[in-house]
Chains A and B, each alone.
Chain A
Amino acid sequence: MVGGLWLVLVAAGGYVAWLDYQVRSQFEGKRWSVPATVYARPLELYPGLALSRDGLLAELDAAGYRPAAGGQRPGTWAQDGDRLRLTTRAFGYWDGREPARTLALRFADGRLQSLRDPDSGEPVDLARLDPATIGAIAPTRREDRLLVQLDDVPVSLIGALLAVEDRRFHRHFGVSPSGIARAAMANIRAGRIVQGGSTLTQQLVKNLFLTGEQTFTRKVNEAIMAVLLELRYDKRDILETYLNEVFIAQDGDRSVHGFGLAAQYFFGEPLDALRIDQQALLVAMIKGPSYYNPRRNPERARQRRNLVLGVMADTGVIEADVARTARQRPLDVLEQRRQPRHDYPAFMDLVQRHLQRDYRREDLQSEGLRVFSTLAPTVQHAAEEAVTHRLDRSGDALEAAVVMLDLDAGEVSALVGGRDPGFAGFNRALDARRPIGSLIKPAVYLAALERPAAWGLGSVLDDTPLRIEDERGNEWAPRNFDGEFRGDVLLVDALAHSYNIPAVRLGQEIGVNAVTSLVRRLGQNAPRRAYPSYMLGTAELSPMEVAGMYQVFANQGFSTPLRSVRAVTDAAGEPLRRYRLSTERVVDPEPMYLLNHALGEVMREGTGRNARATLPAGMTVAGKTGTTNDYRDSWFAGFSGDTLGVVWLGRDDNAGIGLTGSSGALGIWADALSATAVRGFQPTRPEGVKPLWIDQDTGARSHQSCSGSRELPYVVDHAPEEWTECGRRSGDDNGGGGGLLQRWFGD
């Protein structure tokens, strides 16, 4: 008998110990899976910044700012005479926390003309706008929450919660028989359920550890575990956990947990910025997140909110007149999707690939990491806009991809992976490897220009019929796009107009290996054994890889590994990892300058000239068109002084699209760049390069005063040796700068 009792006691003790273990291991370890949050780059505001008022408003919209009288509350803005007033939200950056601050901004001529503190009137040198949240790295069906600490939760909200859900919270030990009795009485008095019998601790246990089934065993387990939780942890821990755990709404495949995210989800505000009526509404919803959903059932939600306000007044959480005023307020919840939750599937894909080099997928999905990305919302919108605008009238099968870079920093500022930028499908910007056509030619010409003794921009190339053996020993006769042969053409023009035959000949002369080894220096793979057709772009690259290659040109010979993430912190804001800017010179300044001059000619006179009509007046750019056989791919890659864009158009089934680089991709590129580029491309001329006058037909030295002369940059000591008759005569006492040039270049 006694033995049996012992057995029961030991078994019960073992069972409780097991429950205790469950409670401890789950409560102390990872309480929740919190997805990594990915932020856009913060906008840096400073006087003189090239930014229009509309540009700022677009940034504010992306970051979830709202217009509100005064613009004094964090996350709001207001018009204030000819100024804009806004208040940033406090934000923890990788390099420290910045407090909320109110700013007065004045715009003129597309610039931020002045930036001041409106209270003191003092000028502000630099301020950061807290960044837009662009996504979360989470499993598809997921719980989402924005963790809050107890001290950041308004006292009145906690008061309301305890008054409604668990009045004896601070006195009970996990379960509350008298609480159950009291709730029953209150419910009877009200004639309906106004209070639940479970303590907050029991509710928490139910949510954290147990399934939803209503069985007696579960009730017993819940009670035991609630007591264990109270024994092990203090009330503050339990309350804070509850505030973050509680389920408040369902948003598609995402469930909204905790008051922090609920405040954002329903009001677009941080929890500590909510008014009393808003706090009451959130507390009201706990009883039935779907039933009291203020968007779907506003009247029901309003009544329940007012009930909560009444309880708050009755229990002394707020004054009666405060409750009266609060009851009069409208619900004021944001429209669904008014939330700043634009989707950036292609860019998010890039960020995840970047992070997976250093983090395990499970950690990204569960550790609440904060990821500071390089996405610039305005650039992204411009790129998407350009794609959808130009593809609107085209057939459904036409696809597109865009990569935009902030050049000097080597940062990816925007990425479009298909014609529907919001659709998370095949990411063509990263994964569509397609023949690049004439986009390869700059590498061919650069490999030649790296031998300045043999080749200059004014070298004469042979554009006459050519027959060579291809890789299978068959005869191959490359043709120009228009089928013409031009006889002699200058190297610079052959590139600007993208003639094929001179490019193949030049490649033959310098050797295919010279070209492939340069392509490797530009950071791309190249075949060990390539054929003459390589010069016309048989190499297959993704738009992102093309961007990697062209950023070297744009950065004047320096290669900068591309980044989509600047830094990562843990959930508490402690820096974990920073991805640094690094740079390496891979092409000498002189040949690089010459090539960029030719890429500028593409835009002035060559296949890219149609972009001029779209680009802002005076914006100097450089770039190259690409078209592949049977019009399968339409490419353009080009850059201003601060922005590089690569655009690809084509079909997934590789059928022809009837567009050249010039008639297709160029237009999208020009639209996107016009909306984002600020500085023109004005490379510094290296000391080893000087401009010279040459004859545009023969490439011989000439003089400014001679007819048919043209100015081109040359590497010092490698001027053409031949002179035109006129040039020789005029060059003797050169008025047009030739005298000086002669001293530099004279033989």
Chain B
Amino acid sequence: MTSNRSGLRLLLLFLVVLLAGCAVLEEPSEEAGAPGPEPREEATPAPDDEPGTAAVERLMIEARDASNDGDHERAGALLERALRIAPDSAVLWHNLAIVRYREEAYDQAEQLAQRSLSHADGNAELQRRNWEIIAVSRHMNGDADGAEAARSRAAGLQEAGGD
């Protein structure tokens, strides 16, 4: 069945993204008191049969490759292209937040993660990752209290929605 095949494809994609993401992740800060969990990797889209799923996947993979090569401008442009196809995709907003984070554009990283949250209902794992981006972005902007608040939101989601 198509849905099984697309499920398998998404699982494979997830593994690819996970490995690639981990391998090149930049550490946000060397200093003591660096925030706990950091944005680890781009998330993968939820399996669905929305129009343009394959197009969005392709653009996401290209964006990930560009970002891992350090070409964040191109990665951002590719994710914007994908967002024009799937504007409600929490995953795309999340990945764009990660790209901005990697460029050290922390304000936009937080705002884009907020935007991702507004589409991430019922996806506790993605919500948690967004709160982590918000926490580290605030930390990098010197907002310790805000970072702490975001971190505890992330931690709460870990307990509640781990599985």
CA distance A575 to B66 in the complex (A): 16
B114 at interface (Cβ–Cβ under 8 A)? Answer: yes
Contact with A along B58-83 (1 / 0, CB 8 A): 11000000000000011011101101
The reply to whether B54 and A125 contact each other, CB–CB distance below 8 Å, is yes
Which A residue sits closest to B73, measured CB to CB? A578
The reply to whether A46 and B55 contact each other, CB–CB distance below 8 Å, is yes
The reply to whether B80 and A580 contact each other, CB–CB distance below 8 Å, is yes
The reply to whether A49 and B77 contact each other, CB–CB distance below 8 Å, is no
Residues of A contacting B57 in the complex (Cβ-Cβ under 8 angstroms): 125
The reply to whether B51 and A684 contact each other, CB–CB distance below 8 Å, is no
The reply to whether B81 and A44 contact each other, CB–CB distance below 8 Å, is yes
Which residue in B53, B83, B108, B112 is a CB contact (below 8 Å) of A408? B83
Residues of A contacting B118 in the complex (Cβ-Cβ under 8 angstroms): 556-558, 589, 684
The reply to whether A583 and B87 contact each other, CB–CB distance below 8 Å, is no
Contact with B along A534-561 (1 / 0, CB 8 A): 0000000000000000000000111000
Residues of B contacting A111 in the complex (Cβ-Cβ under 8 angstroms): 51
Within 8 A of B (CB), among A672-712: 684, 687
A126 at interface (Cβ–Cβ under 8 A)? Answer: yes
Q: From residue B150, how far is it (CB to closest CB) to chain A in Å? A: 14
Known contacts A409-B84, A409-B87, A642-B87; A126 and B59 CB within 8 A of each other: yes
CA distance A94 to B81 in the complex (A): 12
Residues of A contacting B54 in the complex (Cβ-Cβ under 8 angstroms): 46-47, 123, 125-126
Which B residue sits closest to A96, measured CB to CB? B74
Residues of B contacting A54 in the complex (Cβ-Cβ under 8 angstroms): none
Residues of B contacting A642 in the complex (Cβ-Cβ under 8 angstroms): 87
Within 8 A of B (CB), among A96-152: 111, 123, 125-126
Which residue in A125, A567, A578, A687 is a CB contact (below 8 Å) of B58? A125
Residues of B contacting A589 in the complex (Cβ-Cβ under 8 angstroms): 118
B115 at interface (Cβ–Cβ under 8 A)? Answer: yes
Which residue in B51, B59, B74 is a CB contact (below 8 Å) of A49? B51
Residues of A contacting B81 in the complex (Cβ-Cβ under 8 angstroms): 44
Q: From residue B85, how far is it (CB to closest CB) to chain A in Å? A: 7
Which residue in A46, A557, A575, A583 is a CB contact (below 8 Å) of B85? A46
Which residue in B58, B77, B85, B115 is a CB contact (below 8 Å) of A558? B115
Q: From residue B117, how far is it (CB to closest CB) to chain A in Å? A: 9
Residues of B contacting A556 in the complex (Cβ-Cβ under 8 angstroms): 118
Q: From residue B60, how far is it (CB to closest CB) to chain A in Å? A: 12
B40 at interface (Cβ–Cβ under 8 A)? Answer: no
The reply to whether A584 and B111 contact each other, CB–CB distance below 8 Å, is yes
Q: From residue B5, how far is it (CB to closest CB) to chain A in Å? A: 13
The reply to whether B51 and A48 contact each other, CB–CB distance below 8 Å, is yes
B31 at interface (Cβ–Cβ under 8 A)? Answer: no
Number of A-B contacts (CB under 8 A): 77
Q: From residue A111, how far is it (CB to closest CB) to chain B in Å? A: 7
The reply to whether B87 and A408 contact each other, CB–CB distance below 8 Å, is yes
Which A residue sits closest to B107, measured CB to CB? A584
A629 at interface (Cβ–Cβ under 8 A)? Answer: no
Q: State how many residues of chain A have any CB contact under 8 Å with chain B.
A: 32
Which residue in A95, A558, A583, A684 is a CB contact (below 8 Å) of B121? A684
Which A residue sits closest to B112, measured CB to CB? A583
Within 8 A of B (CB), among A555-602: 556-558, 567, 575, 578, 580-585, 589
CA distance A580 to B81 in the complex (A): 11
A50 at interface (Cβ–Cβ under 8 A)? Answer: yes
The reply to whether A406 and B51 contact each other, CB–CB distance below 8 Å, is no
Within 8 A of B (CB), among A373-412: 406-409
Residues of B contacting A95 in the complex (Cβ-Cβ under 8 angstroms): 74, 77-78
- If over half of B's interface residues share one DSSP class (helix, strand or loop), that class is named, otherwise mixed; here it is helix
The reply to whether B51 and A583 contact each other, CB–CB distance below 8 Å, is no
Q: From residue A593, how far is it (CB to closest CB) to chain B in Å? A: 10
CA distance A47 to B58 in the complex (A): 13
Q: State how many residues of chain B have any CB contact under 8 Å with chain A.
A: 29
B119 at interface (Cβ–Cβ under 8 A)? Answer: yes
Residues of B contacting A44 in the complex (Cβ-Cβ under 8 angstroms): 55, 81, 84-85
Residues of B contacting A684 in the complex (Cβ-Cβ under 8 angstroms): 118-119, 121
CA distance A50 to B111 in the complex (A): 29
CA distance A583 to B52 in the complex (A): 24
B30 at interface (Cβ–Cβ under 8 A)? Answer: no
Residues of A contacting B76 in the complex (Cβ-Cβ under 8 angstroms): 578, 580-581
Residues of A contacting B73 in the complex (Cβ-Cβ under 8 angstroms): 575, 578
CA distance A659 to B97 in the complex (A): 46
CA distance A653 to B87 in the complex (A): 42
Within 8 A of A (CB), among B40-60: 50-55, 57-59
The reply to whether B51 and A50 contact each other, CB–CB distance below 8 Å, is yes
Known contacts A49-B52, A408-B87, A409-B87; A581 and B80 CB within 8 A of each other: yes
Which A residue sits closest to B80, measured CB to CB? A581
Which B residue sits closest to A42, measured CB to CB? B81
The reply to whether B51 and A47 contact each other, CB–CB distance below 8 Å, is yes
CA distance A50 to B83 in the complex (A): 15
CA distance A581 to B111 in the complex (A): 11
The reply to whether B115 and A583 contact each other, CB–CB distance below 8 Å, is yes
Residues of B contacting A582 in the complex (Cβ-Cβ under 8 angstroms): 108, 111
Q: From residue B155, how far is it (CB to closest CB) to chain A in Å? A: 18
Residues of B contacting A558 in the complex (Cβ-Cβ under 8 angstroms): 111, 114-115, 118
Q: From residue B72, how far is it (CB to closest CB) to chain A in Å? A: 11
CA distance A507 to B74 in the complex (A): 47
Residues of B contacting A406 in the complex (Cβ-Cβ under 8 angstroms): 84
CA distance A418 to B87 in the complex (A): 31
CA distance A44 to B78 in the complex (A): 12
Residues of A contacting B119 in the complex (Cβ-Cβ under 8 angstroms): 684
Residues of A contacting B58 in the complex (Cβ-Cβ under 8 angstroms): 125-126
CA distance A578 to B84 in the complex (A): 16
Residues of B contacting A585 in the complex (Cβ-Cβ under 8 angstroms): 111, 114-115
Which residue in A47, A581, A584, A687 is a CB contact (below 8 Å) of B83? A581
Which A residue sits closest to B93, measured CB to CB? A583
Within 8 A of A (CB), among B94-129: 96, 108, 111-112, 114-115, 118-119, 121
Q: From residue B131, how far is it (CB to closest CB) to chain A in Å? A: 14
CA distance A46 to B81 in the complex (A): 12
Q: From residue B75, how far is it (CB to closest CB) to chain A in Å? A: 10
CA distance A406 to B84 in the complex (A): 9
The reply to whether A126 and B55 contact each other, CB–CB distance below 8 Å, is yes
Q: From residue A52, how far is it (CB to closest CB) to chain B in Å? A: 14
Q: From residue B61, how far is it (CB to closest CB) to chain A in Å? A: 11
Q: From residue B64, how far is it (CB to closest CB) to chain A in Å? A: 15
Residues of A contacting B78 in the complex (Cβ-Cβ under 8 angstroms): 95
The reply to whether A408 and B84 contact each other, CB–CB distance below 8 Å, is yes
**In the complex, given contacts A94-B77, A125-B58, A409-B83, what are 13 additional A-B residue pairs having Cβ atoms less than 8 angstroms apart?**
A44-B84, A47-B55, A48-B51, A49-B52, A125-B55, A126-B54, A409-B80, A578-B73, A581-B76, A585-B114, A585-B115, A589-B118, A684-B118
A sample of 21 inter-chain contacts (CB < 8 A) reads A46-B51, A46-B85, A47-B52, A47-B54, A47-B55, A94-B77, A125-B57, A126-B59, A406-B84, A409-B84, A409-B87, A557-B118, A558-B115, A558-B118, A578-B77, A581-B80, A581-B83, A582-B108, A583-B108, A585-B114, A684-B119
Q: Which 7 A-B pairs have the closest CB atoms?
A: A48-B51, A408-B87, A126-B55, A46-B55, A125-B54, A46-B52, A125-B55
